[in-house]
Amino acid sequence: QVKPQFESRENRTYGNFNAIVYRTQVVAGTNYFIKVQVSDDDYVHLRVFQSLPNEDQGPSLVSFQTGKTRDDPLTYF
């Protein structure tokens, strides 16, 4: 659901966009840290915030890091 937000910020489109692994952090909602494969050797890390269900809002891309590899650890950023 956040692919269009990411592509808009990067000003490019990605044919490959596969989540590989994720971690969560519970706050007043949930932060998701997601490692996404965007090509054979290129990965990005996304931080996505999902508000509480009663706020009725979809996931929002908060931040991202590009230039990652499959072996880079997925940590808070």
- Asked if residue 16 is part of any domain, the answer here is yes
Domain span at residue 10? Answer: 1-68
The DSSP secondary structure of 13-76, one letter per residue, reads --S--EEEEEEEEEESEEEEEEEEE-SSS-EEEEEEEE--GGG----EEEEEEEEE-TTS----
- The CATH number given to whatever domain includes residue 26 is 3.10.450
Please tell me whether the overall predicted TM-score, pTM, comes out greater than 0.95 for this model: no
8 CB contacts (<8 Å, ≥6 apart)? none
Phi first, then psi: what are they for 28, rounded to 5°? -80, 65
pLDDT one-digit tens code per residue, 34-70: 999 999 999 999 999 999 988 888 899 999 999 999 9
Q: How many domains does the chain have?
A: 1
